[in-house]
Amino acid sequence: MKRLTISCWLLAIGILAWAQVFTLEQRSDSLSVLTLSTDSTCDHWQLPYPIYRMDTGDMDGDGSIDALVGVIKSTRFYPEKARRLFIFKNYHGLVRPLWMGSKLGGILQDFRYADGRVRSLETTTDGQYVVAEYRWSGFGLVLDRSLAKGIGEKEARELFYQ
């Protein structure tokens, strides 16, 4: 059983206080459970898909840390299984979906939270790489800027991790 924990700590009046923790527990190849633990609550959300990444950050700017979870699944409009991005929020101590995206601009390979944005590593249908950043805009993610287009994998990965 694999467990990935990412903690959020607050510095308040010189004292380090535990605010919230998102934990992702992989129970099988196709079942994981996202858990939100706060100082007074604990809530769970089942994800019946393979997971390839989890990150955290304040995506919507409300001051609360959100969980970004990469799942592998098909969707109604994209029937092939592919990497997708789900974003969950802390809603009064409960795990609730903020965005359950079916697609970004290209074919999603990887993502990470960077400075209030989702930085993505994507490929095009002809195998070129794209590194882009998306920001939250009310209902979902919108392209903020492309850092590079039509580059090779090595250069794209270096830019992705900067």
Q: How many domains does the chain have?
A: 2
Residue-number span of the structural domain to which 73 is assigned? 1-103
At 159 the three-state DSSP class reads: helix
Contact in structure between 119 and 133 (CB atoms under 8 Å): yes
Q: How would residue 62 be classed by pLDDT, with cut points 50, 70 and 90?
A: very high
Boundary (domain end) residue, out of 103, 128, 153? 103
- Between CA 88 and CA 43 the distance in angstroms is 12
> Is there a single domain that holds both residue 63 and residue 130?
no
> Is there a single domain that holds both residue 16 and residue 43?
yes
pLDDT at position 77: 86
- For residue 55, pLDDT over 70 is answered with yes
Q: Which of 60, 22, 64, 57 is nearest to 43 (CA)?
A: 22
Structure tokens at 27: 């129970």
Residue 157 belongs to what H/E stretch? helix 153-161
- For residue 5, pLDDT over 70 is answered with no
Q: Which residue has the tokens 């070129």?
A: 128
> Is there a single domain that holds both residue 24 and residue 84?
yes
> Is there a single domain that holds both residue 81 and residue 136?
no
Give burial (CB, 10 Å; 0-12/13-18/19+) of 10: exposed
Query: Which whole number is the average pLDDT over 26-51?
Result: 95
Q: What is the pTM of this model?
A: 0.86
- The tens digit of pLDDT for each residue in 111-154 reads 999 999 999 999 999 999 999 999 999 889 999 999 999 999 99
